[in-house]
Amino acid sequence: MVGGLLGTIVVILVIIIGLGVRIVPQGYVFVIERLGRYHETLGPGFHVIIPVFDRVSKKVSLKEQVADFPPQDVITKDNVIMKIDTVVYFKVQDPKLYAYGAERPILALENLTATTLRNLVGELELDQTLTSRDNINARMQGILDEATDPWGIKVGRVELKNIIPPEEIQRSMEKQMKAERDRRETLLEAEGHKQASITRAEGDKQALVLKAEAERDAAIARATGQAESIRLVYEAEARGIEMLKDANIDERVLLIKKLEALEKMGDGRATKIVVPTELAGAAADLTFKTEMLGFGNNTPVDNSPAKKPAASKADPCCDDADKGKTTQHFAKEHQDFDNI
């Protein structure tokens, strides 16, 4: 009987000790109440509390949490009704205040976010609301962080997730956006045509400049070549004259050279040659002297086709065997004259 009682007492003690053991995971804290009042906050690890007297009032997560609130109807300054949903990032800093500061702190944070958003958007027009998200986010974060301090909550960031204007406004915005894109497209095309025209004009200008420079260089090269050619000709003539001077050539040789030059000049057809008077006289004198000395032949050259010699007719007075003495005597004198 006694052994059974002791066993029962041991079992009761084990159950009581088991009820008093609490293991707090990392990132969480337990708010402990003793006899209905706040007693302490248990951090991560192994803890023992007094059963029946102590109880865990609230388990609080110290991690950063994200609250995605549903869209709220807001009215802008220009009386446009739209829907905006928000995302709030917060973290519990004081577990005691979070447990006893508000009955339902997340619901309170949601309502506070909705009212703050309506107040801020009500001061802005539609276009400002669409283009001032960063400003609205920063202002809401400051207001919510200050308002949730008594609840032990630290608001780290607020984001406007979606801004949904009415369908009529959306169609108007789409038309406006299309018109703006058409305007930009027109401006870009005009700018492209302008740049293309400028580039083409610059290319034509550069081509003309290069062509003019090429023609100038070619003209300079031709002129330089002609000048060099003329210089070489005159240098050759000068060297020829110097050589003639050094050779002590007399006037006869010079006269023959002049005649050879005249002969070359007269080779072409339809060529008019003006011969100086002194040169013509010298040529005539030279021709006369060469004829007297028996050099050359001044007989004109007959370039007409050769004619066949006509058959000689028999002379009865000369061919006859019995021609007279007078005829024989005349023929003999003529033969003697030819032999002289």
269 confidence band (pLDDT: 50, 70, 90): low
**Cα 22 to Cα 54: distance, rounded to the nearest angstrom:** 11
pLDDT value, residue 334? 45
pLDDT at position 228 over 80 = yes
Work out the burial of residue 54: count CB atoms within 10 Å of its CB; fewer than 13 is exposed, 13-18 middle, 19 or more buried: buried
AA letter at 13: L
**Cα 186 to Cα 183: distance, rounded to the nearest angstrom:** 5
For residue 55, what are the β-bridge partners?
Answer: 33
Q: CA dist 105 to 60, 62, 92, 146, Å?
A: 12, 15, 10, 14
Per-residue pLDDT tens for 110-153? 999 999 999 999 888 888 888 888 899 999 999 999 999 999 99
Do 66 and 132 form a contact (C-beta atoms < 8 A)?
Answer: no
pLDDT value, residue 267? 60
Q: Mean pLDDT over all residues of the chain?
A: 78
**Cα 1 to Cα 331: distance, rounded to the nearest angstrom:** 213
pLDDT value, residue 138? 92
**Cα 103 to Cα 100: distance, rounded to the nearest angstrom:** 7
318 confidence band (pLDDT: 50, 70, 90): very low
Q: What is the pTM of this model?
A: 0.50
Question: Which DSSP letter does residue 83 get?
Answer: E
Work out the burial of residue 50: count CB atoms within 10 Å of its CB; fewer than 13 is exposed, 13-18 middle, 19 or more buried: middle
